[in-house]
Structure 1
């Protein structure tokens, strides 16, 4: 990458310093978040709420989804830590004596940020929705199968969202094949008792629902004072599931579909996806002046200020997204004002922090021309 960009020695040095700090910070953040996610997934598997083969797809999907949030934060902190070390070790002072200017530091930092932001655009617009769709599919599968995995042989089990009671004498390892089944269902004025020698649980793709397929049994229906008994060779009954919420499905909607929509919720989601890469560049622009510190102040002298700044910026973005979705602010205003505000803060910080150095450099250039 460095060869492609054709950087000089000092630019390569700063580039590598930022890259190393960014990779280290991002990996630490990912490990912290993903360790918690892995524990939650493993708990669901141990409790029988999730099949073992769902571990890898769900874990990869979570990595992609968390990366969209953690990449900007990792880069922001990486720039502050990397450049902060150069200030602490007085390397920036030596470089300044050789003619290096703060604007060159900003330039090389923004080049690196633009590369990462380009990858972020690919993630937020295309890869992340696919990962969200995979995660949603696994959640739906987990909801469909959660009651299946809770079934135990030799015990009375609640079924159909606690609306029925079932007893099975024998149960296969995957809990989809049963023997000697009893099912009691009291629905309003109708009481139903089903008995069968064998049963399987199958997912009917047409309806995306789980069904009990009973074989060789009978059904006893009682409605008021009337009782009917029906024998069957094969009979199916629905095994209840829950519906997913819209909040869960928003992240899985393809980006092109969001572009075509006029729904405020879709507009908010679309602007959020576009805002993440833009925020990455703006955060790095903020990080460069915030990374400056006196060598005596310590390596992380301004890290707390940087964290407060990040929290403020991210909260404004989150609230803006909510206001768009609620219809509080129109889509054409959207989240763009937050980026303009951040850009204004960047300009003020750079002018305050580096204004004197920039003017000195400009005066030297003008004097040289004369």
Structure 2
């Protein structure tokens, strides 16, 4: 009882510190990328904090998987380094005694990662896409920020506004470059304001400015001063609603259970399951000889984690292409990791120099003997 309680407490403390560090790194990365998109005019400045939150939530399942793996690796490795495992083994316990406290620690994280992967992450991705879609459908002038160049949705027009009044919605010192075919039109005005005509067509009405036009061959140039000049605003631009599988609810995936939907569902389930299998695999991988080096097992663990992630990605790909059965692709990678866990556990549980290969088949041989005795 003391053995299990001690390890569960260490697992929880290490997991808490690891998750805080990982999620801080994730949020910082999303923050930098989101601020860059906001500065480039790709997203709305007023929705930056909401987009950062959604961006962090979509990486939450992966953070939980890595947290469980690192927590078990760190605690068990420390127990070996500080001779704590030696004391437990001298009391009659074995390395396999860690399986139960590891399962009691990893199962809640696996369930939480499953909920996040199946429900929360698709919702966060959908909200991100919806926010970008709303911004793309806004009119060209509504995207303009004072002191910054902004490109229209169709890429034919560039706006620059020196000052923008929040009360009157007027813009001052407006600069517009409009490309139509090979010709270029440059309009500069002191004031501007958005107005809507009787048909509902919005216009940017400029006052006290100059309009210059240059044809595509550079042979004809015209310049005109104006008191009032209207620039039509295309208010219908914007991305179409997203129907990507990553954004769909799980019930929608089951209703449309084609190969692509099966691949997406496999990924959502496989990622949380890897938290459980990797936590078990970390038990033999965390073995450290106090008299030897400590880095080899850590490198080996990193390579196994990367290989495992790639195998799951390949499984998703083959299911999406329809070249593999859903259940085989779902269970095979995790079964291989559990088999590797069993082999390494038997290897680490044997004294140095003692044969251990025969112990892998001991359960099977025992079952055969019992059947023969009957």
Structure 2 distance, partners of 1:252, 1:141, is: 16
Shift of 1:353: 1.8
Structure 2 distance, partners of 1:303, 1:168, is: 55
Structure 2 distance, partners of 1:174, 1:329, is: 61
Q: Which residue of 2 aligns with 1:240?
A: 237
Shift of 1:30: 2.2
Q: Which residue of 2 aligns with 1:16?
A: 9
Q: Which residue of 2 aligns with 1:277?
A: 272
Shift of 1:181: 8.8
Q: CA RMSD in A?
A: 4.1
- TM-score (normalised: structure 2): 0.73
Shift of 1:91: 0.4
Structure 2 distance, partners of 1:327, 1:148, is: 47
Contact 1:149 1:175 survives alignment (8 Å): no
Are residue 327 (structure 1) and residue 310 (structure 2) matched? no
Structure 1 distance, partners of 2:205, 2:26, is: 51
Are residue 53 (structure 1) and residue 43 (structure 2) matched? no
Q: Which residue of 2 aligns with 1:3?
A: none
Q: Which residue of 2 aligns with 1:311?
A: 306
Structure 2 distance, partners of 1:60, 1:153, is: 26
Contact 1:181 1:198 survives alignment (8 Å): no
Structure 2 distance, partners of 1:27, 1:156, is: 38
Residues 347 and 139 (structure 1), Cα distance of their counterparts in 2 relative to 1, 3 Å cut: same
Q: Which residue of 2 aligns with 1:100?
A: 93
SS in 2 for 1:293: coil
Structure 2 distance, partners of 1:164, 1:268, is: 41
Are residue 213 (structure 1) and residue 208 (structure 2) matched? no
Matches within 5 A, 1:1-370: 8-145=1-138, 148=141, 151=144, 158-164=151-157, 171-173=164-166, 198-199=193-194, 213-214=202-203, 237-243=234-240, 249-297=244-292, 302-354=297-349
Structure 1 distance, partners of 2:25, 2:318, is: 31
Shift of 1:166: 6.4
Shift of 1:127: 1.5
SS in 2 for 1:214: strand
Structure 1 distance, partners of 2:69, 2:8, is: 14
SS in 1 for 2:59: helix
- Alpha-carbon displacement from aligned partner over 1:156-212 (angstroms, at most 9, x marks no partner): 9753412346688974459976589998977779x99x99974159xxxxxxxxx96
- Alpha-carbon displacement from aligned partner over 1:275-334 (angstroms, at most 9, x marks no partner): 122111100111011111111235555111111110110111111112222233233433
Residues 303 and 154 (structure 1), Cα distance of their counterparts in 2 relative to 1, 3 Å cut: closer
Shift of 1:258: 0.9
Structure 2: any 5+ residue segments left out of the alignment? Answer: 207-229, 363-374
Residues 158 and 281 (structure 1), Cα distance of their counterparts in 2 relative to 1, 3 Å cut: closer
Contact 2:10 2:75 survives alignment (8 Å): yes
Structure 1 distance, partners of 2:102, 2:255, is: 35
Task: Name whichever of 330-339 and 132-141 sits farther off.
Answer: 330-339
- Alpha-carbon displacement from aligned partner over 1:230-286 (angstroms, at most 9, x marks no partner): xxx9x874353344776xx32211011112222211111111111122111100111
SS in 1 for 2:328: coil
- TM-score (normalised: structure 1): 0.74
Contact 1:49 1:146 survives alignment (8 Å): no
Contact 1:50 1:146 survives alignment (8 Å): no
Task: Name whichever of 258-267 and 175-184 sits farther off.
Answer: 175-184
